Amino acid sequence: MEAFIHGLPKAELHLHIEGTLEPELMFDLAKRNGIKLAYPSVEAVRQAYQFSNLQDFLDIYYAGAAVLQTEQDFYDLTWAYLQKAHSQTVRHTEIFFDPQTHTARGIPFSTVINGIHRALQDAHQQMGITSQLILCFLRHLSAEEAMRTLEEALPYNAWIAGVGLDSSEKGHPPSKFVDVFQRARQEGWRIVAHAGEEGPAQYVWEALDLLGVQRIDHGVRSTDDPRLIDRLVREGVALTVCPLSNIKLRVFDRMEHHNLKTMLEQGVRVTINSDDPAYFGGYMDENFTAAQQALGLNKDQLGQISRNAFEASFVSEARRKELMFELERYLAKNAD
């Protein structure tokens, strides 16, 4: 099954580029930029990655991002992720970036996006992997700050497919950002939001009704509300589920108790993604494998998860056709 998962053509729809910062690269960049880290070694950094909830993780994640200073740093970070994704048969990836994490430290928006964009272009040329960029607003900051970030992003409209909402969920409902997302829709951007990760099913309703999202990031708390599940199924709303993240951040106590398979069997468009792979113990293959082994997913279900991701992605129709063709051929060839 691991070989089947490895070769399965995949799309990743929930990946924070800052969450791909491996401790080794963190040390390299710290050295390059003359920054002193709070940890003596790579092993000590890895040891520190024990979290009891989302906020625990976010505190360490924002601190780690401080080593990212120059356009080349953002390039190197993105390039390393794309190589890893390519090595795991990820054909298309939609990458979140958190500009406010960097602009708040005095790093210009242009430095961040130029580095990321150049790596995406090079990876397309050299590896054939396609990608989209999604700008996320930090929900623990104000709606005014989000609006200022949106305005800073306007000159880069052509490089940005959509906007999302991430960071500390509890106490920061989607309703806080109605105006920002209305503006983003007017600008023609696609809309996604983290909802129902730690926060209640109510936040998923708000993301749908008030922000107009096209996908929900995480959304695992939706099963608390059967009416919400009915709606997700009826409207074909995709959930970008991140199994290893949910275990590391204790959303579920163990993988065997994850609701991914239940939702899949209810007809929800579930996808599997890695969220912050450098912090949560693995990239796409590791997430698929952990979920498959704990929940007993069969090849049809794994194939359906990949199909869901291609269908829910923001690729051009021509590229989607290509991806679907490759996927269906792989599934036909590798059936039992």
Ligand X SMILES: Nc1ncnc2[nH]cnc12
What percentage of the chain's residues is helix, strand, coil (to nearest 5)? 60, 15, 25
Residue 22 binding partner per list ligand X, Zn ion, none, with a CB distance cut-off of 5 to 8 Å that depends on partner kind: none
Cα distance between residue 194 and residue 139, in whole Å? 10
Given the complex with ligand X, which of 71 and 197 has the nearer CB atom?
Answer: 197
94 lies in the binding site for Zn ion (CB under 5 A): no
Given the complex with Zn ion, which of 22 and 275 has the nearer CB atom?
Answer: 275
Which tokens belong to 226?
A: 């059967």
Cα distance between residue 145 and residue 57, in whole Å? 23
Q: Map residues 224-253 to x or -, x wherever contact with ligand X holds by CB under 6 A.
A: ---------------------x--------
71 lies in the binding site for Zn ion (CB under 5 A): no
14 is in an annotated binding site: yes
285 lies in the binding site for ligand X (CB under 6 A): no
276 is in an annotated binding site: yes
Among 275, 279, 286, 312, binds Zn ion (CB under 5 A): 275
Given the complex with Zn ion, which of 17 and 67 has the nearer CB atom?
Answer: 17
Given the complex with ligand X, which of 41 and 50 has the nearer CB atom?
Answer: 50
Phi, psi dihedral angles at 258 (to 5 degrees): -70, 145
Given the complex with Zn ion, which of 195 and 327 has the nearer CB atom?
Answer: 195
Among 194, 215, 248, 269, binds ligand X (CB under 6 A): 194
Residue 71 binding partner per list ligand X, Zn ion, none, with a CB distance cut-off of 5 to 8 Å that depends on partner kind: none
Cα distance between residue 105 and residue 111, in whole Å? 12
Q: Map residues 132-171 to x or -, x wherever contact with ligand X holds by CB under 6 A.
A: ----------------------------------xx----
> Of 189, 236, 186, which is closest to residue 208 (Cα–Cα)?
236
> Of 249, 250, 251, 272, which is closest to residue 260 (Cα–Cα)?
272
CB neighbour list of residue 281: distance below 8 Å, 6 or more residues apart: 244, 248
Given the complex with ligand X, which of 172 and 190 has the nearer CB atom?
Answer: 172
Cα distance between residue 325 and residue 171, in whole Å? 43
Residue 197 binding partner per list Zn ion, ligand X, none, with a CB distance cut-off of 5 to 8 Å that depends on partner kind: ligand X
CA distance between the termini of the chain:
11
The catalytic residue among 71, 197, 206, 286 is: 197
Does residue 159 contact residue 129 with C-beta atoms inside 8 Å? Answer: no
CB burial readout 272-292, b (16+ within 10 A) else e: bbbbbbbbbbbbbbbbbbbbb
Which whole-number Å values give the CA distances from 25 to 70, 74, 83, 110, 131, in the listed order?
14, 11, 14, 22, 22
| Cα 304–chain centre separation | 19
Asked about 197 being catalytic, the answer comes back as yes
197 lies in the binding site for ligand X (CB under 6 A): yes
Residue 54 binding partner per list Zn ion, ligand X, none, with a CB distance cut-off of 5 to 8 Å that depends on partner kind: ligand X
Cα distance between residue 318 and residue 156, in whole Å? 24
18 lies in the binding site for Zn ion (CB under 5 A): no
Query: Could you tell me the smallest distance in angstroms from the CB atom of residue 3 to ligand X?
Result: 29
94 lies in the binding site for ligand X (CB under 6 A): no
CB closest to Zn ion, residue no: 275
The continuous run of DSSP H or E covering 60 comes out as: helix 54-64
For residue 297, the cross-strand partners are none
16 lies in the binding site for ligand X (CB under 6 A): yes
16 is in an annotated binding site: yes
Catalytic residues: 197
Residues of this chain that interact with ligand X (CB under 6 A) are: 16, 19, 54, 166-167, 194, 197, 245, 275-276
Residues of this chain that interact with Zn ion (CB under 5 A) are: 275
Mark the binding-site residues for Zn(2+), compressed into ranges.
Answer: 14, 16, 194, 275
